[in-house]
Amino acid sequence: MTSLKTLQSNLEDLIEDDEVQRHVGRAVKSLRHAGAQASKAGSKRKAVEDDRLRARLLDSGRAAAAAVVAARSIAERRQRRQRRRNMAVAGLVAAGVVAGGAAARARSGADDGGEGVG
């Protein structure tokens, strides 16, 4: 169940990210224009030789690649954020252990009349 929640969170991040939306929108727009242009070409041969059509298809591919790069950067930012969070928790746990150890030593020293163990 956790992986489904993680997947849902990742998809929401991708959908909400403006940069990813911009790149995906550009890719879709280029593909639509390329499709319309290919249908107007009349024959497959003319469509294959059309430089503008080729440019639109290349632009669509570049936009899709940029969307993938942006999506990867979102994942990397999430990993960095998770790493920072884990380090903060580890720091708090370590501080608690040190403080607990100091408090225990103080209590054991007070119980012995101040002599301590050893």
Q: Where are the alpha helices (DSSP H) in 43-114?
A: 44-49, 51-111
- On whether residue 42 sits in a domain, the answer given is yes
User: pTM of this prediction?
Assistant: 0.55
Two tokens, residue 70: 């942006």
- On whether residue 73 sits in a domain, the answer given is yes
Q: Does residue 102 carry a pLDDT above 80?
A: no
- On whether residue 64 sits in a domain, the answer given is yes
Single out the residue of 4, 1, 23 nearest to residue 73, CA to CA: 23
Range of the domain at 65: 2-81
- On whether residue 87 sits in a domain, the answer given is no
Residues 83-98 pLDDT 10s: 888 888 888 888 877 8
- On whether residue 105 sits in a domain, the answer given is no
